[in-house]
Amino acid sequence: MKVIKAYRVASSDRLTLVVEVSSEPPALFEWFCNDKSVALNRQKFQVRHNLNVTTLTVENPAQGVYNCTARNPAGISKSYGYITVIGKLNIGK
């Protein structure tokens, strides 16, 4: 229902990604950043789940592919998005 999109963000931004699925029974979610589970770094990544909705909040996001996997007994669904991180701008140079 709601998937990850591509974003351009500053390295100092707080990024929040939302995935929503239609699932019965409710889906179980898992988030990844550049093929690594975000569960490995709970200081940088905050994950919240609700009934068929999940959010990932990232402080100082890394550039790359963010993806979410939703699964239930009927199967697996994945959503991907590419995050481009923009560095500090050198204005007037």
**Taking the CA of residue 73 as centre, how many other CA atoms within 13 Å lie in the half-sphere pointing to its CB?**
2
Task: Decide if pLDDT at 75 tops 70.
Answer: yes
Cα gap 70→55, rounded to integer Å: 12
Write down the pTM of the prediction: 0.87
Question: If you compute the radius of gyration of the chain from its CA atoms, what whole number of angstroms results?
Answer: 15
User: What CATH number has the domain bearing residue 21?
Assistant: 2.60.40.10
In a domain, 93, yes or no: no
Give the tens place of pLDDT for each residue, 27-53: 999 999 999 999 989 889 999 999 999
Work out the pLDDT band at 88, boundaries 50, 70, 90. low
Our count of domains for the chain comes to 1
Q: Does residue 92 belong to any structural domain of this protein?
A: no
Domain of residue 28: give its range.
Answer: 7-86
